[in-house]
Amino acid sequence: MESTKSDGQFFFWLWNFQPEPFTELAPLDESALPSEPLSLFLRWFREAFSAEPFAQAAALATVSQDAQPSVRMVLVKGVRAPLAFLVVTGATSQKAQDLRANARCALLFFWATLYRQVIVQGYAREVARHEAQEYFRGRAPSHRRASWLFPQSTPIQGRYQLEERLARVGNRIQSDESEAPSWWTGYWIQAHRVEFWQGQPARLHDRIVYEYHAEARHWRCFRLAP
């Protein structure tokens, strides 16, 4: 571990922290790839799920009306054909505000132990209220209670407010209570481009892209240089 001062400015050289050797996977062979990305995603997801504690965690990037990008982790709740990812969240959050103004977004899964990433570009469609309600019912009781405390991402004065509100709301919201608060919602992120990246020794990484052509309902598949 080293730190260096250069031109009087503090500088911490992260380059010294080389990653541990990773699981070496066979190179991706185009002739063995499916013609659409959903089955490849599901295969990679199942492999990640046996290797990682948070295989369904992904970084969701959004862009506000005034072009400010932001990014945060979410837990992806479902996947459907041709390729869309379900995210549930608070309608008052930055991501939801951004998505209302600009539906274009990106989602990135990183599975460190397998040295793989999947990058999705697409646009978000908010779910209907009854659909949000259905997903809410599937949440654990403690998660449902927490969703009722405050609209997500609104400033609060301190942790004490959460505890106070939990003591009040928690008694009212029984564990079988399944009504979602009005500020609770979800988005399907419809992919039009997805890149599967697999780390390989000597930086000869595999990058396979699928692009969706909606009129033809066809995925074009090609390889990019690492």
**Site for ligand FMN, rule CB under 6 A:** 54, 57, 70, 72-75, 88-90, 93-95, 152-153
Q: List, in order, residues 6 or more apart from 203 with CB less than 8 Å away.
A: 226
Sole residue written with tokens 């959004």 = 62
CB of 159 to ligand FMN, least distance (A): 15
On the CB side of 11, CA atoms within 13 Å amount to 9
**CA nearest to 84, candidates 61, 107, 117:** 107
- In angstroms, give the least distance from the CB of 48 to ligand FMN: 14
Q: Which is nearer to ligand FMN, 12 or 49 (CB)?
A: 49
Strand partners, 196: 118, 208
Q: Quote the least distance from Cβ 60 to ligand FMN, whole Å.
A: 8
Instruction: Report, in Å, the least distance between residue 132 CB and ligand FMN.
Output: 12
- 157, 216 contact by CB (below 8 A): no
- The span from the first CA to the last CA of the chain, in angstroms, equals 29
Among 159, 172, 203, 217, the active-site one is: 203
CB of 93 to ligand FMN, least distance (A): 3
203 has catalytic annotation: yes
Local structure of residue 170 (DSSP, 8 states): H
Task: Decide if 145 contacts 166 (C-beta within 8 A).
Answer: yes
CB 210 within 8 A of CB 220: yes
Q: Residue 147 or residue 198: which is nearer to ligand FMN going by CB? A: 147
Q: How many angstroms separate the Cα of 8 from the Cα of each of 4, 16, 77, 132, 180?
A: 9, 21, 48, 54, 54
Q: How many residues does the chain have?
A: 226
Nearer to ligand FMN, 55 or 208 (CB): 55
Residues annotated as part of the active site:
203
